[in-house]
Chain A
Amino acid sequence: MKIDRRSFLSLGVGVAAGTALSPLPWKLTDDLSIWTQNWPWTPVPEIGESSFVNSVCTLCPGGCGISVRKVEDRGVKIEGMKGHPVNQGGICALGLSGLQLLYGPTRIKTPLKRVGKRGDGQWAKISWDEAISEITEKLDGLRTSGNSHTVAGIAGSRHGTVSQLFSRFLTAFGSPNFFHTPSIADTYQLALQHMNGVSAAPGFDLENADFILSFGCGLLEGWGSPVRMFKANTGWKKAKARVIQIESRLSRTAAKSDRWIAIIPGSEAALALGVAHVLIKEMLYNKDFVDNYANGFESFVTDNGEIKKGFKQTVLEEYSPETVSRVTGIDPSAIILLAREFANAKAPLALCGKGQGKVPGSLNEAMSVHALNALVGSINRKGGVFPIPAMEVQGWAEVGMDTITSAGMNQPRIDGTPPNSLGYINQLPSAILSGKGYPLNVLFVLESNPLYTMADSKTVKDAFDKIPFVVSLSSFMDETAQYADIVMPNHIYLERLEDAPTPMGYNKSIISLSKPVFKPRLNTKHAGDTLILLAKGLGGGVAEAFPWKNFEACFEQAMGDKMKTLKKNGFWVDSDAVLPDWESTFNTPSGKFQFAPVEFSPGFAPIKIEGDSTFQLLLIPYETMRLSCGYIANPPFLTKTVEDTILKQNDCFIEINPKTAQSNQLSEGDVVVLQTPRGQARVRVHLEEGIMPDMVALPRGLGHTAHDGYIANKGINVNHLIGPVQDPVSGMDAAWGIRAKLSKA
């Protein structure tokens, strides 16, 4: 048969039409999709009965109620707990990622003992008995040789039952060296002590304030209790309350505020006093409060007959809008306008604590801002600030003092601060390295990661090298655990019983109950139980101070009559608390609010940051809700939300104003070396209009060297580049930045 063109074409068309009409294309499509998807390793989650268990999230000090969805014994989702007073059903991105921490690869599975060089990551698995006996032997030796004070402990917080049990352990053992991760809450506590005469945390009635003057607080960056702040912000928008953000960088808070006022960083106290100047000069302050319930406003004569300048005179003489304008870079008219608006608001409220308030900051600044609230009478008033008394554990018997204990407790603290002070961890590394005091022999670290979170990582590491024995009670293989000699892993938050105390700034006393949602899945132990076992192992007076059979018993005793409510509702709120009045609640020597506490004069004492004029730029760290920068490192989901203008592959970006970049001949994406007096790092350039010229900003939360591949070795830890700067008044860390320079890599 001859195939001509015509029959060839008709055959072709026939085949095409036949194929199209047959099931073949559909079968092929189907096969193709099966073929592209037939991967047996794609998991099929098991089905089962679904339930919800309420608890509280302790990944940050925010204290949000959570509701964990379980399918059989698996946790499949964490949601915000409806009806919890702090977060009212909301939840942050870190809280939502919690199950990745529970099931993640960075958990420590069993007690470990270091076998290789420190930090090399070579471990031998040991039993709990071995771990406990090894440590108690070491501790016993120190105690009998009269060196009990050479043991120190660093806790993530100074509140909550476990932290207090930890502090009790050190006390009973005979060491005054209890440290905690510091924050703006410490500075506020000092400010309240001096000005209100009370030992308390500040409670901000944010929900009822209608004019919020924020001196750089990252209200939407994780300041205070993050979800509460988001809810408050939404409330402000709906009630048309106004938020003024004073900050050198256009943070999320600044972007969401009604007015962003860029300020030369570090001069916030001067601005507060400048606003006070206008309030006083234009007689805009609350006369009733100032005249009848406050002291130190007018100049006065001290007990030794000296004349001390009052707040009024100081502020009027030294903080005119023009003077303040020179320091802060803010127009005098803007300062005057700000003061008038602040005074005319119904419930004005001024706040401080930069970013998340991770750095305690300048005490002068906190006191100046607190004085502003006092001037307008926003103290102990609806929509204002009032003291929230710290809840000490009631049910525990006092620690018995045997001779060793009292000898140890009579030793000075290693950081040189007076006994019973808050303790200044920022002074610990230099105290250890200076070798002036006594050497530290043992360091316990609980729920904190000082090797990562403390400023000037290199010095901190050098100080750690001088401590022969470091014990970590972390749940995760973090930087500090990696550098420990023995690791006694704690249950993770979803597996353990504890309390979440009142979060920073919350306007009521509240305790939330963290209850075990899951059975511990690894060979871990509750840190409270570990401490009790250690105490029992030591015997004698130490064991007597820890009479409980386990932490649960100790906890129930600590919670006392609140336990019933906690078990029923998941939280306990001090709903009977009444707003303290102006008459009787100032516990100062005069019984009145102190504008000028005798110990210090009000004023702006600039915190001098490190670096000379060869460093032309200013480096400031900043915080974001998408990077967890405390003890908890970013889980994979959270890192996934980090913008590619912050992290690209393993490089992190500095924010820099395009003008500054131009004068340094830098453009978007350039690789540069960022150098500060403390160190240098390779970073990339991101041009950002929302930052003051001549500054660079670097996020906190990157640059981990430990944990897992989802966060390790990504970006730079800003603590490598910044050192602590001691506040001359309080002694706490007040570094808000450091001088820096850039050079092309």
Chain B
Amino acid sequence: MKQEHGGVVTQKYGMVVDLDLCTGCGSCMVACMAENNVPFREDETDKLKSITWMRVYKLTNGKHYPETDICYLPRPCQHCEGSHGHSPCVSVCPATATDYDNQTGIVSQIYTRCFGCRYCMGACPYHARYFNWYDPIWPEGMERYLNPNVSPRMRGVVEKCSFCFHRYQAAKDKAHLDGQKEIDEDAYQTACTQACPAGAITFGDLDNPNHAVHELKKQPDTFRLLEKLGTNTKVYYVSSREWVRRAGDNYLKTEGLKKAVL
């Protein structure tokens, strides 16, 4: 249900990713890079330094041929709510460069405040944060495709998925101009959701019963990543395969699988 926060109607934006549908094609990754002016370098094979706000991981069930199985898992920033907005990264930032927005449930990243201490990267259990080790350099002429709605980042700051916050702002402005109080579900969608050719990603207000995610997150096969940590993330995953659900929360072999806490 919608919550009133300081007299303002609030949303809790989140995602449900159907891992049975995800084919690991990489469209979400590229859609994100293209939308958010993510830089690139000649060698991007050091994945610790390769900036990918959205990254598709390959999971395997660890069994031998031919029983082996693969599942792909797209991982944006999980936009942890923690308890009352105390997400791991927000709690440690000394510069207030990252904040939990109670109005949208989005964890922000304010580049001009960040001075690159990288505490947040250490605190994030999902490796969702990336540091700009290098100057972003676009080959001559290629900076023409940069999106004016997203500021390119500079060397020395941390960046991460923003749930395409600029799209939220645009949708909010438009709703205001149209005299609408609420933003329509399809008026605000992230670039990855929009691009996914398999329709595996659904995005919307988790608290709004009119949004598809509200019901989807209640499916029986739903889980969240490392739920045990109490990060209270807003990205839900669905998989019909038990080994995938176990992998999502690093369950030990001896442990029984708990039902997702909703």
Residues of A within 8 A of B (CB): 29, 32-34, 36-37, 39, 41-48, 71, 74-80, 87, 89-93, 96-97, 99-100, 102-105, 220, 226-227, 230-231, 233-234, 237, 250, 252, 255-256, 260, 262, 625-626, 636-645, 647-650, 657-659, 689-693, 708-710
Contacts and interface: CB of A to CB of B under 8 A. Distances in A.
- The residue among A234, A252, A626 with the most chain B CB atoms within 10 A of its own CB is A234
Contacts of A104: 139, 141-142
Contacts of B142: 100, 103-105
A43 B68 contact: no
A647 B47 CA distance: 11
Given A231-B199, A260-B66, A79 B157 contact: no
Given A233-B198, A689-B60, 6 more contacts: A29-B95, A37-B112, A91-B197, A93-B25, A234-B21, A644-B46
Given A255-B69, A689-B68, A710-B40, A45 B199 contact: no
A34 B154 CA distance: 11
A647 B45 contact: yes
Interface in B91-133: 94-95, 97, 111-116
B208 interface: no
A626 B52 CA distance: 15
B25 A230 contact: yes
25 contacts: A29-B94, A33-B97, A33-B113, A36-B116, A36-B156, A37-B154, A37-B155, A37-B156, A42-B152, A48-B148, A77-B34, A80-B194, A90-B197, A92-B25, A92-B197, A93-B27, A231-B197, A234-B21, A255-B70, A638-B30, A640-B52, A641-B26, A641-B30, A644-B47, A709-B42
A710 B42 contact: yes
**10 closest cross-chain pairs (CB), A and B:** A90-B197, A689-B68, A45-B146, A230-B197, A36-B156, A641-B26, A255-B70, A99-B145, A45-B148, A625-B25
Given A36-B115, A37-B157, A220-B23, A96 B197 contact: no
A640 B40 contact: yes
Interface of B: 20-21, 23-27, 29-31, 33-35, 37, 40, 42-47, 50, 52, 56, 58, 60, 63-66, 68-72, 94-95, 97, 111-116, 135-136, 138-148, 151-157, 191, 194-200
A80 B192 CA distance: 12
A90 B97 CA distance: 35
Given A262-B66, A649-B45, A43 B23 contact: no
A74 B112 CA distance: 26
A234 B198 contact: yes
A472 B14 CA distance: 50
A689 B35 contact: no
A555 B45 CA distance: 44
Contact of A75 (B45, B95, B138, B145): B145
B34 A637 contact: yes
A391 B31 CA distance: 34
Contact of B34 (A78, A250, A689, A691): A78
A689 B63 contact: yes
B65 A657 contact: yes
Given A45-B146, A99-B34, A639-B44, A90 B199 contact: yes
Contacts of A639: 44
A76 B148 contact: yes
A401 B69 CA distance: 61
B21 A689 contact: no
A48 B71 CA distance: 42
A563 B135 CA distance: 48
A237 B35 CA distance: 29
A342 to B, nearest CB: 21
B152 A250 contact: no
A77 B145 CA distance: 7
B20 to A, nearest CB: 6
Contacts of B138: 43
A713 B198 CA distance: 32
Given A33-B112, A230-B198, A710-B42, A41 B64 contact: no
A690 B148 contact: no
Contacts of B65: 262, 657, 659, 689-693
A638 B30 CA distance: 7
A54 to B, nearest CB: 15
Given A36-B116, A640-B29, A690 B20 contact: no
- The residue among A256, A641, A644 with the most chain B CB atoms within 10 A of its own CB is A641
B23 A626 contact: no
A77 B143 contact: no
Nearest to B21: A234
A148 B196 CA distance: 50
A192 B253 CA distance: 53
Contacts of B40: 636-637, 640, 710
A709 B41 CA distance: 9
Contacts of B60: 689-690
A640 B33 contact: yes
Contacts of A642: 45
A575 B191 CA distance: 32
A323 B106 CA distance: 61
A93 B143 contact: no
A560 B99 CA distance: 59
A103 B140 CA distance: 8
A42 B136 contact: yes
A90 B197 CA distance: 4
A44 B151 contact: yes
B111 A37 contact: yes
Contacts of A252: 23-25, 70, 72
B195 A90 contact: yes
A252 B22 CA distance: 10
A333 to B, nearest CB: 15
Contacts of A636: 40, 44
Contacts of B139: 104-105, 708
B197 to A, nearest CB: 3
B27 to A, nearest CB: 5
A690 B200 CA distance: 24
B25 A45 contact: no
Contacts of A237: 20-21
Contacts of A641: 26, 29-30, 52, 56
B183 to A, nearest CB: 18
A284 to B, nearest CB: 27
- The residue among A34, A43, A102, A658 with the most chain B CB atoms within 10 A of its own CB is A43
